[in-house]
Every structure is written in structure tokens, then in C-alpha cells.
Structure 1
Amino acid sequence: MEWRVSITDQQPFRNLVYYAGKQFEKNVSKGLDEHFNIRSYDNLLELEVHLGQLNLLDTPEILIMEVDERGKVFDVIKRLRRSSLTCGLIIVLLSARHDSRYRLLAKELRVEDYYEYPFDIDHINERLQFLRKFKLIRSDVNRLKQLPPKPYKIPIFKRLFDICFSAITLLILSPLFLIVAILIKLDSPGPVFYKSKRAGTGYKIFDFYKFRSMKCGADKELEKLKKEKNQYDQYTNGHATKPAAFVKIKNDPRITKFGHFLRNTSIDELPQLFNVLKGDMSIVGNRPLPLYEAKMLTSNEWCQRFLGPAGITGLWQVTKRGRSDMSDQERRELDNYYVQHSSIWFDLRIIGSTIPALLQKEKV
């Protein structure tokens, strides 16, 4: 289940406070209503999921959370403090009982205020107004709205390398292209190349090229296979219990006989050198995604993967590609890691590790 809050359906952005918990929610909301807009969530999970779907312009100024008996609220705070979007939020904790350990932990995590029941709601109101007035937790929102977004621009050296590498490789492999084209035609009816829409850097959509490795009309069978055989989904009794963002079908029945060879040797990927030459992609980067996958990665935590180049090979390909034990979460984290640490030397290391990774051990 997902919890989504439409900004247009809520109170104005100004003085926005998110509250998590049920025990004190009514009294707190009533006491703060005059100066703050309160949005309430029944539990910490609901709050954290919603925070993960926000962006800079609709992030709250203040979080008020009730301390649960197991202290899970402190794990939530640690995750919030690690995020560049939420690390500066004003955080206030309300506890139903006295616990010196929790009070000390709140201090270590730089929680602004920790209140134990009974507490004075008028005092909390005045304190929040003070904190909000004197603590700068984000840049001027109105100014940010007027600034045009700064798109990713590929470094000159990386682009020169991409052009030279792709052009020379296409020239050298042109005889192989001809042989593969003939074999695809002999193996099954249909076009030699497969073209689909993909989302690359900054969610830019472009035509993505591959050698066709599936029978014609394979796209029409995808919805059914996603529900039954997606490698990244978590299953219970044969049914997907946690739909994943990425789709990879193990033992895909749509693949042709020659298509299995093309995929296991990664020869089907070679036409993407034309994408590199055009500037849609780079040799090294995060995999450009089908649109149905890209639309599931728009939260603050995961859209970071689109802030770098789209590539033929990348970090996840050389570390976990073809392994059935790779989770959806692991692949997302690898994509984010590449964007955060991208450099020409990192790219060269990935290219050097790509050849051993080309021969997959599993039929995916």
C-alpha cells in the first residue's frame, strides 16, 4: 500500500507541519492550528513513505513524532538526517513516559525538542514559532521556483571518448553486424533491430536500439509475465507481494533460439553504439529505463539515478548482472552510487570489468 498526499488538496504550504502518531494528535493539532498547517499520519511508516515521495518545494518545515515503545522513531530520524532533503528539518519528539536513554539519544541525533507527558502545548507552540523563525532549513522557495533546472551535461573528455570509442567499434564490428542480421532473419520473422522508448538522463526520452532477440509481438505479453516471473519482485505462494521498479524476466518464453545466444553474449546490446554516437547515451552510465520502470523511480531517494549519464554498461552490470539474488533495492543503490562517484577513472574501471561480465550465467 502507498500513501500519497496531493498538495493541491491540502492546506497552503506555509508553516507546514507533519505529525506522526495517534496518542496526542488531537490535542497537538488543536493547540497548533492557529499558527501551523498540520498534516497527520497514523504511524511512522506512513510518514516516512510520504516523505520519500516529496521534492524540495513541498517538504515540511517541522516534523512532530510520537516516541514509540521500541524506539523505532530514532531509526527514522537517522535516515532523515542522512538525506540531503530532510537533514535540516526541525524535529520535535513527544513521549508518553520518562526514559533517560531516549532523551539522550534524541540529543545525540540533534533533535530540537524532546517533551515528556504531561507537556504544555502553548509552550510547544511558542517554541516552534521561534525555531521556524530563526532556523534556516532551506533556501528561499520562491527564488528556487524562478530558477531554471540545471540539466546534467556530459564532461567534454567523456563525450570525446564516447564518440571515438563508438565510431571505431562500429567500424570494426560492421562484419559482425551483417552476420547477426542474417542469422536473426533466418531464425524468426520480423525486423533485425528492436526499437523502444527509453528514459535516460534527466528523464529524457529517446529511441533505444537493440538487435531483436524476441519474437514479434513480445511487448503484448509483458504485463502478464511481470506479474508471474519478474526476478526483482518478492513472491509468496507464487504471487508477487512487493512489486519492484525494475523488470527482468527469468527464462523469458518470448526469446527466440538465436535470441538466447545474443543475450547471453550481450551482442544484442551492440546497436546502442549508435545511441552513443548520437549523444543519447554514454559508454558508461546508468541503464536507460523503459517508461513503465522510469515512472516508478520519481521519488527523492531514487530519481538521483537520472542525474547522471545513461550508459551501455555500468556499475550494476559488472557487479551483479545476471544474478538472481540481486534485489530491486540493491540495483537502485548501485545506480545512485555511480552518480555520486562518477569520474573518468571510475568509468575506466567499469569498462575494464565489463568483458568478464558479458557472459551471463543465468537466462534473464
Structure 2
Amino acid sequence: MQSDIYFSNTQRLPPLKTNGLSQTVGIAYIGNTFFDEIVEGEGYLNYRIDRYDSVIDFNNQLSNSSMVDLPYALLIEMYNDDELRVFNQVKAIRENALTSGIIVILLSSSNKTELHQKALEAKANDIYFKPFNAALIFERISFLIRFKLLKPHDSGKLSVKATEYKMPLGKRLFDIFVSSVLLLLLCPLFILIAVLIKLESRGPVVYKSKRAGSGYKIFDFYKFRSMVADADKKLAKLSQTNNQYASGEEGGQKAFVKILNDPRITRFGNFLRKTSIDELPQLINVLKGDMSIVGNRPLPLYEAEQLTSDEFAMRFLGPAGITGLWQISKRGKAEMSESERKLLDNTYAKDGSFLMDLKIIFKTIPAMLQKEKV
């Protein structure tokens, strides 16, 4: 069964243009349990939504369609008893040459932490849990669509040099050389740090977390552990009371979280952070190609998912890096505001060059000594 619903309003999302032709954004919605909750009250959107009862119905429709009929995005409902089936369907969508490029968003009836990883493995673009924030979901879809379709001449929408960041060969060779040499030279220091971390507190020597880098690419991000073992469980409460970016900005949820005088940090961890030695394992990320020596800091997923508007998502059109403009500008100063950091990230994404990288590297060492415990 299929039904079409149209929404139109050009104030929030004007029609996308491909080859000069204005088009209505097409979304295929699979399921009917959450449909009213997702689309009700979202009249500002410029979307055409085609609803199907199942992926089978959607595939049957595709068999009688051409490339021009493909939707930009696919919203799929998922329940406790059919999670495996849905993930397999997403994998099949990715393996099909016709549908591999479609944006896939999953809607789950229950919030289980393991579903994030399974969605990532199935190559879904995102997963949201009930109760749903429809505005956030469609804002995310808007960004992903624009990110895929934006052309360099569309400067009126987003002034960037390319639709997707491609690491220049010279920058990549520089990263490989520098990270390889430093990792070899720093091996004795790494061993000493590992022993001291273990002597002070239980837990792994290297802290690993998921981060979003260039183009929203998600990867494992490495740091020497500087906090107590259960630090992640205490973040939600501290982000409400000790967040550096919580004051001096407009109302609403903050994109960045930086804890002032963080009580989770160990004594040796405080030294590692103050000297930025905790960042050294990211040389492995650089060697692997997840990051560059210089770029915009890769963000935790809970921060990255909030930066979906064109203005703020520009930062993801540059490389992820160990050091960058905001680190040498105001790192460690409590007055660094969220808007200032976004501006610096956007500036590097637009204007970054090898010469700028060299200047940032030379200014990084004196900037490593922080004046505040942030």
C-alpha cells in the first residue's frame, strides 16, 4: 500500500536544485506505526513523502521505476521483534547498486545502546528512538541531502570548495611521515605513561570513543585515559552544571560540552591533560587516515548530531585533526564561546592550506600549556 503526502514551505528548506531543475525532495517512509507522530505538525517541510507498508512493497515499486524516481532518503520503522530483519534489509539496500546511495534513517521503538553499533555496521546513516523529535530528524535529512548534492558553484547555499573533503596528497604524505616518526620516538614515553596510569587507577590505558570526523565519518578515537573508569556515566549530569559552553549563548541545547574543573579527572590525568600528552595516541588515528595532524577536532556523536544546519555543518567539510585554529587561538581559556569555536572550525574548512597548517603547528606547542582546567 502506498500513499503520498506533500508539504511545502520555502522559508526553512527551499527546493533542492540539480542541474538547474527545481525538485521536490522525495522520502520513502516504510511502516505506519510512527507515521503520524513523525509527520504531524511538520508543515514547514518541502518534502514529498511516499509511504509503504514494508520494504518488500518499496522494492516492488522500485522494480517498476527508473533512476529519476529514486527517493533521496528512506525512513524505516523498527521494532523489538524485527531488528535483525531490518538491519539485513539495510545491508541489502547498500549492496544494491540502484539504492546504495539512498540516505537511510532508522526509527526504533526502544532505545538500546547496542542498536547504535548495529546501525553503523549495517551502514545506516542514523537511528532515532521513541519518543521522536521530528524536527531534528528532518533537519538531519536536510543536511545529508545537501551534503550529497551541493556543488562548488552553489555558493549561495554554502561557501565551500567541494562537496566532500579529499585529503591533498602532500598533506597525507606529511601526516604519514610525521606520525610514523613521532610514534617511533615516543615509544619509551608511551610505556612510562601506561605504567603510571595503571598504578593510579583501574581501567584501560587508552580511552577509545566514537567520533565524527570529516564528512560525518565515524571512527574510533584514541586518547590516554585521564579520567576514572566510569567517567562516561557521569557526563550527563556534569554537562548541565559544569559546561563551559552553557553560558553566554542563546537558549537551547548546547552543541559542545567542555567540563570546567572536571571532578572525573585523576591526578596524573590532570597532568596529561594540562600538557596535552593525553592526545598523543591520536597519532595512530593520523597514521590510519582517520585524522590529520591539523584540522577540526572530531566531535563526540552526541555533539556532532546537533550540528546539522548548513552554517554549523560546514566544519565537517574539512579534515579532522589533532590541532587546529581554535586550539592555538584560545585553548584553555574559559571565555572561549561556542560561536567562536564554530567560526574558527568553519574558517579552517573554507580556507585551510598547507601554509596555514605549518603556522598552526608552530603555534601549537606554546598553546599546549593551559591556564584553566577545561
TM-score normalised according to structure 2 size? 0.59
2:7 equivalent among 6, 11, 15: 11
Partner of 2:291: 281
Which residue in the other structure is 2:373 paired with? 363
In 2, are the aligned partners of 1:53 and 1:299 still within 8 Å (CA)? no
Equivalent pair of 2:198/2:205 in contact (CA under 8 Å): yes
Q: How far does the alpha carbon of each residue in 1:55-80 deviate from its partner, in whole angstroms, 9 at most, with x for none? A: 5979xxxxxxxxxxxxxxxxxxxxxx
Please tell me whether the aligned partners of residues 333 and 372 of structure 2 are also in contact (alpha carbons under 8 angstroms): yes
Counterparts in 2 of 1:190 and 1:334: CA distance versus 1, 3 Å: same
Aligned residues: 240
Counterpart pick for 2:247 among 211, 230, 234: 234
Match of 2:256 in 1: 246
Q: How far has the Cα of 1:85 moved from its partner?
A: 1.5
1:84 aligned to which of 156, 161, 169 = 156
**Aligned counterparts of 1:196 and 1:307: Cα–Cα separation in 2:** 21
- Within the candidate set 301, 320, 323, 2:330 is matched to 320
What is the match of residue 39 of structure 2? none
Distance 1:85 1:52 in 2: 16
2:265 equivalent to 1:255: yes
Counterpart selection for 1:173 from 174, 186, 204: 186
Report the CA distance shift for 1:184/1:358 in structure 2 as closer, same or farther (over 3 A). Answer: same
| Distance in 2, Cα, partners of 1:232 & 1:53 | 26
Unaligned runs of 5+ in 1: 1-7, 20-37, 41-49, 59-82, 88-148
Contact 1:264 1:359 in 2 (8 A): yes
Runs of 4 or more consecutive aligned structure 1 residues displaced over 4 Å after TM superposition:
50-58
Q: Residue by residue, what CA displacement relative to the aligned partner does 1:37-96 show, whole Å, maximum 9, x if unpaired?
A: x959xxxxxxxxx999955979xxxxxxxxxxxxxxxxxxxxxxxx72289xxxxxxxxx
Instruction: Please say if 1:221 is aligned against 2:234.
Output: yes
1:203 aligns with 2:216: yes
Matches within 5 A, 1:276-355: 276-355=286-365
Q: Output the CA distance in 2 between the equivalents of 1:250 and 1:217.
A: 18
Residues 161 and 220 (structure 1 numbering): CA distance in 2 closer, same or farther, change over 3 Å?
Answer: same
Q: Which structure 2 residues correspond to residues 38-57 of structure 1 after superposition, within 5 A? A: none
Structure 2 match to 1:152: 165
Between the two proteins, what is the percent identity of the paired residues?
A: 60
- The residue that corresponds to 2:64 in the other structure is none
The code of the aligned residue for 2:7 comes to: Q
Decide whether aligned partners of structure 1 residues 52 and 186 sit closer, same or farther in structure 2, where only a CA change above 3 A counts: closer
Instruction: Find the aligned partners of 1:293 and 1:302 in 2 and give their Cα distance.
Output: 11
Q: Once the 2 structures are TM-superposed, how far is the Cα of residue 268 of structure 1 from its aligned partner?
A: 0.2
What's the C-alpha RMSD, in Å, of the aligned pairs? 2.9
- Offset at residue 234 of structure 1 (A): 1.8
The corresponding residue for 1:184 is 197
User: For residues 362 and 253 of structure 2, what CA distance do their matches in structure 1 show?
Assistant: 34
* Offset at residue 241 of structure 1 (A): 4.7
The alpha-carbon deviation at position 11 of structure 1 amounts to: 2.4
Unmatched tracts of structure 2, length 5 or more: 13-42, 46-137, 147-154
1:153 to partner: Cα distance: 1.1
The AA in structure 2 aligned to 1:286 is N
1:163 & 1:86 partners in 2: Cα distance? 31
Where 1:198 maps in the other structure, the secondary structure is strand
Quick one: distance in 2 between partners of 1:52 and 1:172? 43
Separation of aligned partners in 1, 2:145 and 2:286: 34
Cα distance in 1, alignment partners of residues 144 and 277 from structure 2: 42
Which structure has the bigger radius of gyration?
1
SS class of match (1:301): helix
- When residues 51 and 279 of structure 1 are mapped into structure 2, their CA distance, relative to the original with a 3 A threshold, is closer
The TM-score normalised by the length of structure 1 is 0.61
**Shift of the alpha carbon at 1:244?**
1.6
